[in-house]
Amino acid sequence: MKNCILLSHIITEDTPAYGNKDRITIKANSSISNGDTANTSSWFFSNNHIGTHMDSAYHFCENGAKTFEIPLDDFIFNQVSFIDIPATEAKLIGINDVINAGTIHPETELLLIRTGFEQYRHEEKYWSNNPGLAPELADHFRNNFPALRCVGFDFISLTSYQYRPEGRLSHKAFLCPENGKKSILVIEDMSLKKVTGKLNTVIVAPLFVQDGNGGAVTVFATPS
């Protein structure tokens, strides 16, 4: 893989959190500049769902798959579709928005949705007035794109802070489907501003922790 582009935000202490409730703290434990042998540090996440991160099925369904239970091959996507749905404030992105955004390859494995909301990442509105995905989109994706395994986007959460009841339904619709339907993973708070054309391959590298309800991911891609 050459000329890779990073689709994750760097983890910093000013990383925004949904609802502005959580924080990341980075502290030096030892420092070469202070005479220590090596540079080491402690990283404290008050919630694992902060920064560019993935929601696994176990996040919203007790019997859902945990991150480390997902086959490793499922974190590599060779058929990627990318659509633009501009948003500057809270809204529920629905089926018509997706249809009107352009063509999605019928064998898409990963769908990336760019709204441009990333530009507000260091403003209050990024977490308080963000767009989200409507619950009915989950079955629309399953019915029309049977190979789809994951959806990612450039806003802070699948749940719009202004539409929290609908957001809970959306999480369950994507992650915890009934009647034997498959779960669709979710990647929140991505950085998509560098994407200028088709992406050939996208790799998602999650942390494998025993709780496994989701967490930080590094996402990188090769452009065509």
Do 141 and 182 meet the contact criterion of CB atoms below 8 Å apart? no
The whole-number pLDDT of residue 63 equals 93
The whole-number pLDDT of residue 3 equals 86
User: Mean pLDDT over all residues of the chain?
Assistant: 97
pTM for the model stands at 0.96
> DSSP characters for the chain?
--S-EE-SPPP-TT---GGG---EEEEEEE-GGGT-SS-EEEEEES-SS-SSEEE-GGGT-TTSPPGGGS-GGGGEESSEEEEE---SS--EE-HHHHHHT----TT-SEEEEE-SGGGGTTSTHHHHS--EE-TTHHHHHHHH-TT--EEEESSS-SS-TT-HHHHHHHHHHHHS-STTPPP-EEEES---TT--S-EEEEEEEE---SS-SEEEEEEEEEE-
The whole-number pLDDT of residue 12 equals 98
Domains along the chain with CATH numbers: 5-9+48-223 (3.50.30.50)
The whole-number pLDDT of residue 78 equals 97
List pLDDT tens digits, range 151-195: 999 999 999 999 999 999 999 999 999 888 999 999 999 999 999
List pLDDT tens digits, range 30-72: 999 999 999 999 999 999 999 999 999 999 999 999 999 999 9
Inter-CA distances, 146 with 106, 110, 122, 142, 191, Å: 8, 11, 36, 5, 26
Which phi-psi region, left, alpha or beta, contains residue 193 (left: φ > 0; alpha: ψ -120 to 50)? alpha
| Mean pLDDT of all residues in 112-139 | 98
Do 111 and 99 meet the contact criterion of CB atoms below 8 Å apart? no
